[in-house]
Amino acid sequence: MTGEGVAPRPEVWGVLNVTPDSFSDGGRYLDPAAALAQGRALVAAGASVIDVGGESTRPGAEPVAPEVERARVLPVVAALAAEGIRVSIDTMNAETAAAAVEAGAAIVNDVSGALADPAMLATVAALPCDYMLMHWRGPSAVWDQVSDYAWAPRDVADELRARLAAAQEAGIAVDRLWVDPGLGFAKRAEHNWQLLAHLDELRALGARVLVGTSRKRFLGALLPDGAPVEERDLLTAVLSALVADRVDALRVHDVAASARALAVQRSLAAAGPAAASAIVALEGAYSAAAPASAAPHTGDRITLSGLRAFAHHGVFDHERRDGQEFVIDVVAHLDLRGAAANDELAATVHYGELAEQVVAAVETDPVDLIETVAERVAAVVLAHAAVWQTTVTVHKPQAPITVPFSDVSVTIVRGRP
């Protein structure tokens, strides 16, 4: 029905909580027949995997005895798998994982990243299944004490890298592994947004990437107070489309909405060259440096995202004294046809060297403003003769702003005079 390799990327995984108390669908699918019907409906709406869970991870939820968890999920896993549906079991318990795979599950989705049950990695290593390591810093009772990050995208990637290494050491090959930033799990809204904006950090880990944005509280914060949780489905679907090109799978409750949003995203992406020339035309309108006519190469560019530098810029004494992290994105526009035709590094810009030059320019003499830092970076990029235009964004995620915020940045576009 939904064999591996058939599903378009990203896949949509449908959530099926067989619990009395999950925060958005608790109690609806405790009856196996109702769960099976919902699983079928999610597949019909476009899910390639059904993620079956028997224990709520909602803050304040009571832990569930493994026997109770298994009694809830195993009949549903078996019934779905018997229909040829690809099933994931959402569990932190190794015995439940093993029993679910025995019943036909193809994936173990462990929100604890193998930190809750010491037997999990060895168990999964011996099972014929994929394994999802979600970023986790402990149960919801401790989230208040463990929700601080220097820069969430980097910290989460570093912590997941360690979990991936542990999984591989236990004998789980990387082609069986998935990672997930664990949105909402010991993360404040700003951390969730930063993680979504910097998914490349997770992609660089080498495992497949899934994100679970669905119906989470940080989306509810964008809706009027008291809005029903289902109203978050539209926001989830928008996010599904926005991150589609950087993830392998999306875990959602309203599969139809995300599947439709992805259809829109795919149609737009398929119109790539047209979309690219529209962007070039827009950029041309903004930059005197753009060639008068949109030549075929004017969309060519090299992009460096999320470069990190530690520096002492800022107007406050403590910023000058203690320093903080700055994150820089650079787009360098240059004609890449010659480099591609001759496969020749000398005909383009060496991105590793450019990255080092940008970081070095940020890490020198402290100044007050990130505007000044951005100008400095633009000058470094334009020092490469082949570059005719650059877009530089300097983020200051730990800026001294007294209200909750996710990021502040300055973007400039500079070209040759």
CB nearer ligand PMM, residue 21 or residue 363: 21
Q: Is 154 a catalytic residue?
A: no
Q: Which tokens hold the place of 365?
A: 């003499």
Closest distance to ligand PMM from the beta carbon of 251 (Å): 5
CB nearer ligand PMM, residue 149 or residue 388: 149
CB nearer ligand PMM, residue 90 or residue 319: 90
Question: Is 174:163 a contact under the CB 8 Å cutoff?
Answer: no
Q: Is 187 a catalytic residue?
A: no
b/e 195-210 (16+ beta carbons within 10 angstroms → b) = bbbbbebbbebebbbb
CB nearer ligand PMM, residue 185 or residue 326: 185
Task: State the DSSP H helix or E strand holding residue 399, giving kind and residue range, or none if neither.
Answer: none
Whose CA is closest to 158, among 113, 93, 124, 123? 113
Closest distance to ligand PMM from the beta carbon of 80 (Å): 16
CB nearer ligand PMM, residue 151 or residue 218: 218
Residue 377 Cα distances to 161, 309, 360, 369, angstroms: 30, 12, 9, 13
Whose CA is closest to 162, among 207, 98, 197? 207
Whose CA is closest to 300, among 286, 290, 285, 292? 290
Closest distance to ligand PMM from the beta carbon of 314 (Å): 35
- Minimal CB distance to ligand PMM: which residue? 212
Query: 216, 301, 396, 414: which is the annotated catalytic residue?
Result: 216
Note the residues at the interface with ligand PMM (CB under 6 A): 15, 17, 22-24, 53, 57-58, 90, 109, 111, 132, 134, 180, 182-183, 210, 212, 215, 251
Residue 34 Cα distances to 56, 66, 210, 240, 341, angstroms: 18, 22, 26, 27, 59
Q: Reduced to 3 states, what is the DSSP secondary structure of residue 41? A: helix
Closest distance to ligand PMM from the beta carbon of 221 (Å): 16
- Please classify residue 266 by burial: count the beta carbons closer than 10 Å to its beta carbon, then call 0-12 exposed, 13-18 middle and 19+ buried: middle
Question: Which backbone phi and psi does 379 adopt, to 5 degrees?
Answer: -65, -40
Report residue 330 CA to chain centroid gap. 20
CB nearer ligand PMM, residue 24 or residue 240: 24
Closest distance to ligand PMM from the beta carbon of 300 (Å): 37
Closest distance to ligand PMM from the beta carbon of 25 (Å): 7
Q: Which tokens hold the place of 181?
A: 């930033």
Question: Which residues are annotated as catalytic?
Answer: 216, 251
